[in-house]
């Protein structure tokens, strides 16, 4: 089993979640986060006159899913395709982190492994 953590633009979250579902990902968790990578921040209109403020962190959404390793390529390709702002992509489209999961246990039934996903 693997865990996929995808950090994406908030405006792409619905498209990404739909693409993940179509790729066979049956469950996921997502939450609003802030941070920064190579993108240097964002200029934000403050609402007073024409002043703007440079924020060093950028709002993003963190989508997490645990899936069977055999489905990794299909789900990752779906995320990449759905998260891109356009065909070529652009700075800030996001990042995907993949890690091994040694065990999953369903609290209600005690099932473990792939059956618990």
> Which domains does the chain possess?
2-116 (3.30.70.120)
* Whole-number Å distance between alpha carbons of 53 and 82: 30
Q: Rounded to two decimals, what is the model's pTM?
A: 0.84
Q: At what angle do helices 13-22 and 72-83 cross, to 10 degrees?
A: 150
For residue range 29-41, list pLDDT tens digits in order: 999 998 877 766 6
For residue range 49-94, list pLDDT tens digits in order: 666 666 667 889 999 999 999 999 999 999 999 999 898 998 889 9
In this predicted structure, the answer to whether residue 24 has a pLDDT above a threshold of 80 is yes
């Amino acid at each position: 089993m693997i865990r996929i953590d995808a950090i994406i633009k908030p405006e792409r979250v619905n498209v990404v979640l739909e693409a993940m579902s179509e790729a066979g990902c049956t469950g996921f968790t997502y939450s609003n986060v802030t941070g920064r990578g190579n993108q240097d921040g964002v200029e934000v209109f403050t609402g007073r006159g024409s002043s703007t403020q440079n924020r060093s962190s950028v709002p993003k959404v963190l989508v997490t899913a645990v899936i069977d390793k055999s489905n990794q390529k299909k789900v990752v390709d779906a995320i990449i395709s759905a998260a891109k702002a356009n065909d070529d992509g652009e700075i800030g489209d996001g990042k995907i982190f993949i890690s091994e999961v040694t065990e999953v246990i369903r609290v209600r039934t005690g099932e473990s492994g792939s059956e618990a996903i």
